[in-house]
Structure formats: structure tokens, C-alpha cells
């Protein structure tokens, strides 16, 4: 990403970062879809340099693709990073981001307020690889500090946590990380860089499910990892970044690639070896979403706040979870780190418990009942009867999902239509 390009405004970079000039062969102004598996080399010496990591370029779309490259540059620019690597899904991105850094015996200090798929990864898959997760059921940085052990390597949080939509104290967490030499990794899917840029508050790595707000239209699955370029790899806490890599003839990533060492390691390690690459067509579709990100997020925030205020005053609603409301426990953090708005998620507890939640969901007309967030359309789900139905009531409460909890992802429809649909469904519940 050029220095001059990074001086452009955020909205401008949503449209131009990574692709400032028309495609040179045809003059195409829109980013082309390079639907190819592989690329011709200029000669044998050129091919040898690419394979030896002596020169950057295209070899095979599992590793890199020109369409995907624009998306990677664009998201990196928006997040304030030096480079990014796209993956086939958000979960692939999170898995690769962590396993590139961690091995048997290493530990993570993580908030419990995470997306369910991440919880499953942390609870079941990472332990099989010898990686332990120390959970912190709190938003207090002091509690994260207490959970750190000599084997801790990464501190992990989400910008807007699940399910009660808590916003962490990034400055406090950054101080904890600096104290112990930890890497701060933040899932910024719900906020997007339009509302919060964790790198500006001390994060070293940012991950996204591109499927959600960045894509924005519920059409394409993808994920991305952004490298801030700010972690001191040279201090040796992550050996694979500083020691010779036998799979690349002994290359030392930090010594060779400097600030982008982690991104290069991700691409040439996890992406090359595990193969969870983003398709060029999905990269193209997600780019269309990124172009309108600032406009869409402003409307998501506006509509979600109106919905939260409506629900807060409704007689059949026992509690509303929305960080923009004055009674939310992390309201101060939301005001500090997300001054432009609190994104489009709203959670609430419906009077009448699980049965009322099911009736409410089935009575909706404008809102769609499905397991996604960040769509242009408004969405709703009742976790206790769907995504968490296998848990007992005690287990549900331990997970932060009560039988009466409903999660809404508020879209871009006319807010009167959204509120009207919620009102009539609540009446029936």
C-alpha cells in the first residue's frame, strides 16, 4: 500500500485502495475477476525467484490472485495495516491467524464473549493441537492480566462481543499485552473499520468474516487477516517468525520481510499448505460491498439505535442489549472506541421465555429468520431453539444465551417497516 494512497480519506479508500488506475490491458475501471488457477512465468529464472520468495508475484490462485489482492490491499488500508491475507471463510481466517503463531504448549487469554464458531474452535479444536485457552468472563483488563501465564502468547477479543454486545477496553487490554509481551488479536467483524479500527488502539492483528458487513449482501463467504506490522517479532516470542523455515530453504521471515513478515508467513504457510483460499469471484463480490461500506454502516447504526430504543420501551421486552443505550455495561467503551455508532446488532430478552421467542420469530414478516449477521436485510434468530438448542437451560445461561434471548441484525430497510414488523410479532408473542 503506497504512502500517498494511505493519505486519502477513508471513504475514498473504500473505492480506490489497491486499484487506483484502470486495468492496463483493457482499461477496465471496475476490478476484473481473474478467474484463473495459475499464471505464466516470464522465464525459468522468474519462476525460480517466485518460488524462493525472492520476488512477489502470482504463481497459483491458492496462494494469490489479482482480484483477491485488491481486496487484501483495500481492507489492510482501511484497518491501518501493512498487509492482509484473505481466506475462504471467517473461521478459516481465525484458525490460520492463530495456528500460524501457536504450537503445543502455547496458551491464549480470551474473552468468553465470542462468536459461537470461535468458541467451538477454542474449546475443542485448539486443545487437540496442544493449545490451551484461558477464558476471561469479564470486560475488565485486570481480569485478563490475572489470566496470563508464562505460556500465554495471544490476547483475543471481539470488538462487539457475543451475545450481549459488550465493547472491550482496548487501551487497558493493550497495556496488559505490553506488560507481558503478548500479541493482541481482535475480531472486528461487527464493527468494521468504518466504526472502529483496533490497530489504532493497540491491536497487532485484526480478523474479519468478510461474509458479514464488509460483503454486506449475504451472497459470499470469506475471511481475512490484517497484519498491523507493529508487533516486535524480533523479541523472539514467536519462533516461527524468526528462525529459519525448512520449507523455504531456511528463510528467516522477520529478517527477510520485516513489517510484513507475519502476512507472508500466513500466505506461504497456512494458505499454501491448508488451501482455504478465497475464490476470485467472491473477492469481486465482497469488493462491491466494501465500496459502499461507510454509507451502509451509517444506516445500520441509525436503524439499530431506533430499534433498540423501541424495544427498550416495549412492555413485552424485559431487557435490551445494545451498547449505544445508556444502561449498557460497556456504554463508556462504546462511546470511546465506536463514536460513529454501535453497528447493527441488537439483542433482547422477550417476556414469556423460549416459547414466546419461537412465536415471535415465526410471526416476523419483513425480518428474515436465518443464521447470519451483517446483511443488507434485517435478520432475526432465537438461539435457544436453534444454534444453542442442544444445551440445557443452565448451559445456555453459562453461555450468555437465556431461553428468552433474541438476536437481531438490523438492515437497511425503512426503519418504520422494521419497527412495525417487530411490533406486530411482539404482540403475537
Over the stretch 253-293, which tens digit does the pLDDT of each residue have?
999 999 999 999 999 999 999 999 999 999 999 999 999 99
Distances (CA, A) of 68 to 31, 284, 394: 10, 7, 44
pLDDT band at 375 (very low <50, low <70, confident <90, very high): very high
pLDDT band at 390 (very low <50, low <70, confident <90, very high): low
For residue 386, is pLDDT > 80?
no
Higher pLDDT, 156 or 249: 156
Over the stretch 318-370, which tens digit does the pLDDT of each residue have?
999 999 999 999 999 999 999 999 999 999 999 998 889 999 999 999 999 99
For residue 122, is pLDDT > 60?
yes
Mean pLDDT of 198-210: 98
pLDDT band at 192 (very low <50, low <70, confident <90, very high): very high
For residue 399, is pLDDT > 70?
no
Q: How high is the pLDDT of residue 396?
A: 65
Q: How high is the pLDDT of residue 398?
A: 58
pLDDT band at 7 (very low <50, low <70, confident <90, very high): confident
Domain ranges of the chain: 3-290, 294-428
Over the stretch 210-221, which tens digit does the pLDDT of each residue have?
999 999 999 999
- The set of cell numbers assigned to 68 is 483477491
Assign 3-class secondary structure to the chain. CCHHHHCCCHHHHHHHCCCCCCCCCCCCCCCCCCCCCECCCCCHHHHHHHHCCCCCCCCECCCCCHHHHHHHHHHHHHHCCCEEEEECCHHHHHHHHHHCCCCCCCEEEEECCCCHHHHHHHHHHHHHCCCEEEEECCCCHHHHHHHCCCCEEEEEEECCCCCCCCCCCHHHHHHHHHHHCCEEEEECCCCHHHHCCHHHHCCCEEEEECCCCCCCCCCCCCEEEEECCCCCHHHCCCHHHCCCEHHHCCECHHHHHHHHHHHHHHHHHHHHHHCCCCCHHHHHHHHHHHHCHHHHHHHHHHHHHHHHHHHHCCCCEEEEECCCCCCCCCHHHHHHHCCCCCCCEEEEEECCHHHHHHHHHHHCCCCEECCCCCCCCCEEECHHHCCCCCCCHHHHHHCCCCCCEEEEECCCCCHHHHHHHHHHHHHHC
Instruction: Give the chain's mean pLDDT.
Output: 94
**Distance separating alpha carbons of residues 85 and 208, to the nearest angstrom:** 11
Q: How high is the pLDDT of residue 21?
A: 83
For domain 3-290, the question of CATH label 3.40.50.300 is answered with: no
Mean pLDDT of 5-14: 91
- The set of cell numbers assigned to 323 is 451498547
Higher pLDDT, 235 or 34: 34
What fold, for 294-428? 3.90.1150
Amino acid at each position: 500500500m503506497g504512502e500517498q494512497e494511505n493519505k486519502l480519506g477513508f471513504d475514498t479508500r473504500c473505492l480506490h485502495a489497491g486499484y487506483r488506475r484502470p486495468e492496463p490491458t483493457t482499461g477496465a475501471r471496475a476490478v476484473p475477476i481473474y478467474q484463473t488457477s495459475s499464471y505464466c512465468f516470464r522465464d525459468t529464472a522468474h519462476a525460480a525467484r517466485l518460488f524462493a520468495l525472492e520476488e512477489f508475484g502470482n504463481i497459483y490462485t491458492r496462494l494469490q490472485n489479482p482480484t483477491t489482492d485488491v481486496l487484501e490491499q483495500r481492507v489492510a488500508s482501511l484497518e491501518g495495516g501493512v498487509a492482509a491475507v484473505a481466506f475462504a471463510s471467517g473461521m478459516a481466517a481465525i484458525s490460520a491467524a492463530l495456528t500460524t503463531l501457536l504450537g503445543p504448549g502455547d496458551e491464549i487469554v480470551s474473552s468468553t464473549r465470542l462468536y459461537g464458531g470461535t468458541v467451538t474452535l477454542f474449546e475443542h479444536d485448539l486443545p487437540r493441537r496442544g493449545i490451551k485457552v484461558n477464558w476471561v468472563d469479564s470486560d475488565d483488563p485486570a481480569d485478563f492480566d490475572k489470566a496470563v501465564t508464562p505460556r500465554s502468547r495471544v490476547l483475543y477479543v471481539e470488538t462487539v462481543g457475543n451475545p450481549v454486545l459488550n465493547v472491550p477496553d482496548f487501551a487497558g487490554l493493550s497495556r496488559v499485552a505490553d506488560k507481558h509481551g503478548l500479541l493482541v488479536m481482535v475480531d472486528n467483524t461487527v464493527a468494521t473499520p468504518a466504526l472502529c479500527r483496533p490497530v489504532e488502539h493497540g491491536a497487532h492483528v485484526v480478523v474479519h468474516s468478510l461474509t458479514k458487513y464488509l460483503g454486506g449482501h449475504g451472497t459470499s463467504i470469506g475471511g481475512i487477516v490484517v497484519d498491523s506490522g507493529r508487533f516486535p517479532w524480533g523479541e523472539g516470542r514467536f519462533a516461527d517468525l524468526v528462525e529459519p523455515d525448512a520449507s523455504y530453504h531456511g528463510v528467516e521471515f522477520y529478517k527477510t520481510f520485516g513489517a510484513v513478515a507475519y502476512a507472508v508467513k500466513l500466505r506461504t504457510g497456512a494458505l499454501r499448505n491448508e488451501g482455504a483460499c478465497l475464490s476470485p469471484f467472491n473477492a469481486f463480490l465482497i469488493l462491491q460491498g466494501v465500496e459502499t461500506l461507510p454509507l451502509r454502516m451509517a444506516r445500520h447504526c441509525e436503524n439499530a439505535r431506533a430499534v433498540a430504543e423501541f424495544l427498550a420501551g416495549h412492555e413485552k421486552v424485559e431487557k435490551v442489549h445494545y451498547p449505544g443505550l445508556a444502561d449498557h455495561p460497556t456504554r463508556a467503551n462504546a462511546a470511546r472506541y465506536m463514536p460513529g455508532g454501535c453497528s447493527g446488532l441488537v439483542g433482547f430478552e422477550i417476556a414469556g421465555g423460549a416459547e414466546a421467542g419461537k412465536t415471535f420469530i415465526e410471526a416476523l414478516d419483513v425480518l428474515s429468520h436465518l443464521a447470519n449477521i451483517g446483511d443488507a436485510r434485517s435478520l432475526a434468530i432465537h438461539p435457544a431453539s436453534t444454534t444453542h438448542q442442544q444445551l440445557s437451560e443452565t448451559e445456555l445461561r453459562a453461555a450468555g444465551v437465556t431461553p428468552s434471548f433474541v438476536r437481531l441484525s438490523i438492515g437497511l430497510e425503512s426503519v418504520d417497516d422494521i419497527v412495525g414488523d417487530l411490533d406486530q410479532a411482539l404482540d403475537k408473542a
